[in-house]
Amino acid sequence: MKTSLILASTSPFRQQLLAKINLPFTCIAPQVDETPQKNETAEQLVRRLSIAKAKAISNIPKHTLVIGGDQVAVINGEIIGKPHHFENAFSQLSTASGKIVTFYTGLCLWNNEKNSHQVIVERFNVHFRELSDTMITNYLHAEEPYQCAGSFKSEGLGIALFSRLEGKDPNTLIGLPLISLIEMLGNEGIEVLEHMSK
């Protein structure tokens, strides 16, 4: 029987990334409380939420793989999420100016037939340039990245904010580690490039 693939997210960025690997998928919004638990580290948070989001999708066909993901940024040891509006975004980018911001991106692939999952957390370091108030304001008005952890879109003009990027997979920074996902799918018997030739 053919395996179905579900992305447990309504993020347009994750949808665009997943579309790159040419496998059909559907999107379902997971209903998960994203509030951090007491004394939870950034890595523990995104790992827990990635698993929770993947497993939150119910009433699905037996042969289904569900992708769950979550991402946070850490500046000066503090977890930051989506800014939601200009003031918060300005504050986040002002704090990030001249510093290294570490992004933690969780990825879970849940096999509902076997009731098993694979999960990883990838780190990605973003070295920010020294940013003036004018640079930050102009950037925020240009892209309005208010639903993006860290207040930027690295796939767009946000690249102008950085001096260097460090990580295994540039897709991780946008929210979906495709290299790791392809490895996970392979572990489930789905080889992306072989699938394309069928």
User: Annotated active-site positions, please?
Assistant: 70
Give the C-alpha distances (Å, rounded to integers) separating 99 from 6, 76, 163. 36, 9, 10
In this structure, which amino acid lies at residue 166?
E
Give the C-alpha distances (Å, rounded to integers) separating 74 from 59, 80, 116, 120, 167. 35, 6, 30, 18, 15
- The alpha-helical segments, DSSP class H, found in the chain are 12-19, 42-55, 86-96, 133-143, 170-174, 178-187, 192-197
Question: What number of other Cβ atoms are within 10 A of residue 8's Cβ?
Answer: 24
Rounded to an integer, what distance in angstroms lies between the CA atom of residue 4 and that of residue 23?
A: 10
CB 34 within 8 A of CB 49: yes
Reduced to 3 states (helix: H, G, I; strand: E, B; else coil), residue 197 is: helix
